[in-house]
Amino acid sequence: MAAQLRAARRPGRALAALALAAAGGLLAAATVGSGPAGAAGTTLRDLAEAKGSYFGTALTQSNLNSSTITAIAGTQFDMVTPGNEMKWDTTEPSAGNFNFGPGDQIVSFAKAHSMRVRGHTLVWHSQLPNWVSSLPTAQVQAAMEKHVTTEVTHYKGQVYSWDVVNEPFNEDGTLRTDAFTNAMGSGYIADALRTAHAADPNAKLYLNDYNIEGLGAKSDAMYALVSSLKQQGVPIDGVGFESHFIVGQVPSSLKANMQRFTALGVDVAITELDDRMPVPASAANLAQQATDYAYVVNSCLAVSGCVGVSQWGVGDPDSWIPDFFSGYGAATMYDNNYQPKAAYNAVVTALGGSTASPSPSVSSSPSASPSSSPSSSSSPSSSASPSVPPTGAACKVTTQVSSWNTGLTENVTVTNTGGSAVNGWKLAFTLPGGQSVTNAWNATVSPATGQVTASNLSYNAAIPAGGSTSFGFQANHTGNAAAASGFTLNGVACAAG
Ligand code: 9MR
């Protein structure tokens, strides 16, 4: 199945790239081939597809107005879940008044970028308009069936799957009380599934919930429900594990739990992955997040019925977390500037890709992060262009270090303060004694200690006059966690920011 889908989607990729380039966005135009804000020469979608899987993201209508978000979404991801646009309050805000405009925009974006769509969601207690919850119970079933039939028919052939029923359970595994259980008891679930199947027999039909990722009362309830639905011949194809995790708390039973569901004859998918932490994010938590993301992806890859992973949002600025969990954030693979975090690199590695890794001497040093890759880098070697002309190379550098007892991460932003663009850059600097680089992002960094040079990757070679670029690295230290110093850009000394 995966191979067929891959083959069917491929022709659209070139078109999508052209569309991005034609849009004229600097980010888009500069990154065709390697993908914005990602590892050189790899994208999450390509790596996932090579494994017969997918990597998805949620997108909202307002996200489509951001060229940064759309450039990453259309390049790195191959599955879209509309964040809100297919929910009942949008699609049928009053009885019989259907509005598919916002959802259609997400579907159009997906088509233009050869992405599939996870339809989300048909029957849910939340984002349910008042007119439904205030219906006499005798009318709820007909309203639900009409809603499901109309929406699934509208998107027939255009969605890969539907989250037919969303979040049906309480934490203790009892069925949530809502308009649907009040009217139909637990039977509403089978009815919704049958109704959706009649409208689009080819869509994969899912039940989706949170806190069912590990073994426990709630996942036991979902397991019992799916088992009973299968026994009754109700059309159910999959279970979505939302996976809204807290850093360091991904359940160790994730894989075993997935396996018991797939043994029932259904697929499983990670549908809304994020991994939140207190903000500002500490380096230790960001490293743990990388471990968590890799663990989730590896778990899915290890279970043959786990069809793919979707993140809930593209990057930290468009994530729902800060609005819902005060003091928490940094939950996605992309940081506040939409730069890939250690979690991104960890996922690339888990998917069999190689990240922008340092030279062999660096990668042989002990790594503080699961995200570092010992494999060779596809970016230019440190000796490739020692004589890059110092065109426009007046510069300013700012650094930001986050450290813990034995390690640190350092983010470096270099601004081209000269009058002309820099095309290809090497930023040389001095690391304090005892610091040893273990991995880097958005640049190669070599050697690991002492006098070090960061070299651009293919996608960030150009720094326009007045523009800036950022890269970062992780290092071990022996007590001195100070920032690097003595920066020179293409041989010209930089001012400190
Ligand atoms: O991301 C969605 C956010 O924009 C909405 O305000 C919120 C309202 O309930 O729903 C969010 O998406 C949810 C998803 O539909 C179901 N699982 C939990 C998600 C996060 O709340």
pLDDT of residue 197: 98
List the one residue out of 124, 89, 91 whose CA is nearest residue 107.
91
Please, what is the Cα angle at 111 between 109 and 117, to 5 degrees?
Answer: 85
Residue nearest to atom 14 of ligand 1 (CA): 83
Cα–Cα distance for residue pair 313/310, rounded to 1 Å: 9
- Is 243 near ligand 1, meaning CB less than 6 Å away? no
H/E segment holding residue 325: none
Cα–Cα distance for residue pair 425/457, rounded to 1 Å: 9
Q: Both ends of the chain: CA-CA distance in Å?
A: 53
pLDDT of residue 344: 97
- Is 74 near ligand 1, meaning CB less than 6 Å away? no
Cα–Cα distance for residue pair 420/206, rounded to 1 Å: 54
- Is 272 near ligand 1, meaning CB less than 6 Å away? yes
Residue nearest to atom 2 of ligand 1 (CA): 83
Number of separate helices (H) and strands (E) present in the chain: 16, 21
Question: Active site residue: 167, 213, 242, 410, which one?
Answer: 167
pLDDT of residue 85: 98
DSSP bridge partners of 451: 430
For a pocket test of ligand 1, which of 207, 245, 312, 328 has the largest count of ligand atoms closer than 8 A to its C-beta?
312
pLDDT of residue 337: 97
For a pocket test of ligand 1, which of 123, 166, 311, 320 has the largest count of ligand atoms closer than 8 A to its C-beta?
320
On the 0-12 / 13-18 / 19+ scale of CB atoms within 10 A, 385 is middle
**C-alpha 312 – ligand 1 centre gap (Å):** 9
Pair of tokens at residue 356? 């922008």
pLDDT of residue 391: 45
Domains of the chain by start residue, with CATH: 7-350 (3.20.20.80), 395-496 (2.60.40.290)
- Is 84 near ligand 1, meaning CB less than 6 Å away? yes
CB 247 within 8 A of CB 289: yes
- Is 242 near ligand 1, meaning CB less than 6 Å away? yes
List the one residue out of 66, 111, 99, 105 whose CA is nearest residue 82.
105
Which residues, including other chains, have CB under 8 Å from residue 424's CB and lie 6 or more apart? 385, 388, 456, 461, 490
Question: Active site residue: 145, 242, 272, 410, which one?
Answer: 272
**C-alpha 242 – ligand 1 centre gap (Å):** 11
pLDDT of residue 36: 66
- Is 127 near ligand 1, meaning CB less than 6 Å away? yes
Atom of ligand 1 nearest to the CA of 312: 1
Is 272 assigned a catalytic role? yes
- Is 305 near ligand 1, meaning CB less than 6 Å away? no
The number of beta carbons lying within 10 Å of the beta carbon of residue 496 is 11
pLDDT of residue 471: 83
pLDDT of residue 418: 85
- Is 320 near ligand 1, meaning CB less than 6 Å away? yes
For a pocket test of ligand 1, which of 62, 81, 84, 213 has the largest count of ligand atoms closer than 8 A to its C-beta?
84
In three-state secondary structure terms, 493 is strand
In Å, what is the CA distance from 341 to each residue of 38, 48, 282, 333, 369? 9, 18, 12, 5, 12
**C-alpha 357 – ligand 1 centre gap (Å):** 36
In 234-282, where does DSSP find H-type helix? Answer: 254-262
pLDDT of residue 458: 66
Cα–Cα distance for residue pair 408/435, rounded to 1 Å: 9
Compute φ and ψ for 452, nearest 5 degrees: -120, 150
Please, what is the Cα angle at 358 between 482 and 423, to 5 degrees?
Answer: 90
- Is 252 near ligand 1, meaning CB less than 6 Å away? no
**C-alpha 286 – ligand 1 centre gap (Å):** 24
Cα–Cα distance for residue pair 295/350, rounded to 1 Å: 8
pLDDT of residue 90: 98
Give the side-chain half-sphere CA count within 13 A for 371: 29
Compute φ and ψ for 379, nearest 5 degrees: -90, 170
Is 167 assigned a catalytic role? yes
Residue nearest to atom 3 of ligand 1 (CA): 320
**C-alpha 127 – ligand 1 centre gap (Å):** 9
Atom of ligand 1 nearest to the CA of 324: 21
Cα–Cα distance for residue pair 223/216, rounded to 1 Å: 10
On the 0-12 / 13-18 / 19+ scale of CB atoms within 10 A, 451 is exposed
Tens of pLDDT along the chain (497 residues)?
333 333 333 333 333 333 333 332 223 222 223 456 765 558 999 999 999 999 999 999 999 999 999 999 999 999 999 999 999 999 999 999 999 999 999 999 999 999 999 999 999 999 999 999 999 999 999 999 999 999 999 999 999 999 999 999 999 999 999 999 999 999 999 999 999 999 999 999 999 999 999 999 999 999 999 999 999 999 999 999 999 999 999 999 999 999 999 999 999 999 999 999 999 999 999 999 999 999 999 999 999 999 999 999 999 999 999 999 999 999 999 999 999 999 999 999 999 998 764 333 232 222 333 332 222 233 333 333 333 334 446 899 999 887 777 877 788 989 988 888 888 889 999 999 999 998 776 688 888 899 899 998 766 778 888 888 888 887 888 999 999 999 989 888 889 87
- Is 85 near ligand 1, meaning CB less than 6 Å away? no
The number of beta carbons lying within 10 Å of the beta carbon of residue 101 is 11
List the one residue out of 144, 141, 142 whose CA is nearest residue 88.
144
